[in-house]
Structure 1
Amino acid sequence: MSTPGTGLVVLVGPPSSGKTTVGTALAQRLGVVFRDTDHDVEAEAGTTIADLFVTQGEPHFRALEERAVARALAEHTGVLALGGGAVLSAHTRALLVDLVAEGVTVVWLDVDLPSAAQRVGLSRDRPILGINPRQMLRQMLETRAPLYTEVSTLHVRTGGRTVEDVVADVLAGVGQESAP
């Protein structure tokens, strides 16, 4: 794996935590490129993640996701958002821990259950949430929190906050509070 550029900031967190929205705004503020591994998976598969879950199943999607994350971590030097479940892979967690040791910032965008449920609504583009989104979100937030903690160097809460406030916290955490 090549050494990422000093500008790499990796965003992790559950679905609806704001990784894409915050990541896009953060990249703009830092003057770097934003990349989302969910989009990488969709481009490689030629279909949506929701359709991948239905037609190929979650294990197939997770394998594609693991490869997409490894590739992006090796190549990308801007702001990188990982899919909410990327941390389920031990291989991905090991890559992130190694990058943290090299000085890369991994930001856990954390969201509370009421905010997550409001943001997700009954969206069908989040297949992992299944039939009872609120219960699935609760379980997901509880079971994945230790994994996000394991890989992150900065913890920022997003629930009930503006994108600008969240970006300001991330910028402060990466030592860029005065970014243009």
Structure 2
Amino acid sequence: MNDVTRKDPIVVVGPPGSGKSTVGKLLAEHLGVDFHDADADIEREQGRTISDIFATDGEPAFRAIEEETVARGLREYTGVYALGGGAVVSDRTRERLAGYPVVFLNVGMAEGVRRTGLSTARPLLAGVNPRATYKALLEARLPIYRSVATVEVNTDGRKPDDIATEVAASLARCGIPE
């Protein structure tokens, strides 16, 4: 492992099923740093699942919680910090990401659908036509993910270890971490 000391976290973003948590953990191990997950923070702090928050309070309430959680994580964490798939839809979150190294894990629709299994644990994919919802989500968010990304890595058909290794190499080429 490398001895990496960073003041700010390396942020991992991407759609559901892109591997943010899985690859983020492996990247943190590779770099010898801590791993943090915004969705896990929200569930721990709220004492309920994200699906429950969506169902009970609605998406706007969840997004407000998420925005504050991410802001706090960016201030307090070092290492690798995985955000929820929709965190980047917030203008304030995107503004806060400026200056941070951001890794965008890109996944195609077919692979993302396969990986998520269109799980009910993913509230935005619930509904009458989850495949169409996933497709619309990807189309709407792709430019947003790219607008905040320092590095973009395609994850389709690849093993998490290989993706984490590529991410680390791509970050190193950008001088991150240093």
Q: Same fold (TM over 0.5)?
A: yes
Residue 170 to residue 108, structure 1, CA distance change in 2 (3 Å): same
Taking only aligned residues, the RMSD between alpha carbons, in angstroms, comes to 1.6
The CA distance in 2 between the partners of 1:116 and 1:162, in whole Å, is 14
Map of 1:161 onto structure 2: 158
Map of 1:133 onto structure 2: 130
Encode CA deviations 1:114-170: one digit per residue, 9 max, x unaligned: 100101113110011122221111001110011111111100011111111111110
Q: Of residues 101, 116, 122 in structure 2, which corresponds to 1:120? A: 116
Q: State percent identity of aligned pairs.
A: 49
One-letter code of the match for 2:148? V
Which 5+ residue runs of structure 2 have no aligned equivalent?
174-178
CA apart distance, 1:6: 4.2
Map of 2:104 onto structure 1: 108
Residue 7 to residue 75, structure 1, CA distance change in 2 (3 Å): closer
> Which 4+ stretches in 1 moved above 4 angstroms?
none
Map of 2:86 onto structure 1: 85
CA apart distance, 1:40: 0.9
Encode CA deviations 1:59-115: one digit per residue, 9 max, x unaligned: 110000000000000111110000000001000000112xx2xxx310000000010
Is the partner of 1:11 in helix, strand or coil?
Answer: strand
CA apart distance, 1:24: 0.7
The CA distance in 2 between the partners of 1:123 and 1:140, in whole Å, is 15
The answer as to 2:149 corresponding to 1:152 is: yes
CA apart distance, 1:43: 1.3
The CA distance in 2 between the partners of 1:110 and 1:122, in whole Å, is 17
Is the partner of 2:11 in helix, strand or coil?
Answer: strand
The CA distance in 2 between the partners of 1:89 and 1:73, in whole Å, is 15
Name the count of aligned residue pairs: 169
Q: How does 1:27-106 map to 2 (within 5 A)?
A: 27-97=28-98, 100=99, 104-106=100-102
Tell me the TM-score normalised to structure 2 length. 0.91
One-letter code of the match for 1:122? L
